[in-house]
Amino acid sequence: MTGRGSPAAPAPAGERIQKVLAQAGLASRREAERWLSQGRISVNGSVITEPGTRVDLSRDHVKVDGRRLRPAEKKAYYLLHKPDGYVTTTRDPEGRPVVTDLLRGVRERVFPVGRLDYHTSGLIILTNDGDLADRLMRPASGCLKVYHVKVKGTPAPSVLKRLSEGIVIDGRRTLPTRITVLGGEQHTWVAVVLQEGRRNQIRRMFTKAGHPVLKLRRVAIGPISDRGLPPGAWRRLTPDELRRLDGALR
């Protein structure tokens, strides 16, 4: 015996599969976990479902939906005004239009950051930067999203106060929001600032309060906004916008 104890076990080779997919520009790590659970990923010919799986692209053959994973492309960042009637994914089993269908002329393979409901319009970022996507989607990131919402009727100030302080949905209280009345007669437009993004959150909040949503569009993602971008149109984010976006994230 040398008195030095047993040698340390070697560190597992490779990177976690979620990180590899994110670095390759295919999806955020959260989306990659969904793909694993759906059986869409194989390594060396075998379907894998375990998020902790480690792979090394220098020796492992990784496929997504049967297509070989290639090295990451140059980072690309786009801002799209999603119209009503599009799904915020890169493919849809029901055959509905997806947001990437609108990116005609874009050569990079990009994915949407977060989700907008099928009938929700507005701004969404598409990128192949998985690390930025994960930072943007964390509730604690500090990236606030602003929505303009048309609701049925005229909510009383007490109702808006209750919604802004947080209500219970699916057993969990929503985080505080800022709600500002913009105007309207028979129905009311309000601005809602969210710091989280639970599925159908705004629609469910106002439905529970007795004022169902009639129209919903996202007008800002942190410091990123563009009132002149028409539905269905897209553009690259500018270097200044990327700097301001990075500075807004915790």
3-state SS string for 103-146: CCCCCCCCEECCCCCCCCEEEEEEECCHHHHHHHHCHHHCCCEE
Q: Which two tokens stand for residue 93?
A: 């089993």
**Which homologous superfamily does the CATH classification assign to the domain defined by 144-221?**
Alpha-L RNA-binding motif (3.30.70.1560)
Identical fold at 77-139+226-248 and 144-221?
yes
Query: What pLDDT is attached to residue 72?
Result: 65
Q: What percent of the chain has pLDDT over 90?
A: 58
Residue 68 has a pLDDT of: 85
Mean pLDDT, range 7-34, rounded to an integer: 74
Sequence ranges of the domains in the chain: 15-68, 77-139+226-248, 144-221
Whole-number mean pLDDT of the chain?
89
- Give pLDDT, residue 9: 39
Task: Give the model's pLDDT for residue 20.
Answer: 86
Domain formed by 77-139+226-248, architecture:
2-Layer Sandwich (3.30)
The one catalytic residue in 60, 84, 92, 117 is: 117
Q: Does the annotation count 117 as an active-site position?
A: yes
pTM of the model: 0.74
pLDDT for the residue numbered 164:
96
Give the pLDDT mean for 4-25.
Answer: 66
Which CATH architecture does the domain made up of 15-68 adopt?
A: Roll (3.10)
Determine the Cα angle at 199 with ends 195 and 202, to 5°: 60
* DSSP secondary structure of the chain: --SS-SPPPPPPSSEEHHHHHHHTTS--HHHHHHHHHTT-EEETTEE---TT-EE-TTT--EEETTEEP-PPPPP-EEEEEEPTT-BSSS--TT---BGGGG-TT--S--EESS---TT-EEEEEEES-HHHHHHHHSGGG---EEEEEEESS---HHHHHHHHH--EETTEEPPP-EEEEEE-SSSEEEEEEES---TTHHHHHHHHTT--EEEEEEEEETTEE-TT--TT-EEEPPHHHHHHHHHH--
- In this predicted structure, the answer to whether residue 8 has a pLDDT above a threshold of 70 is no
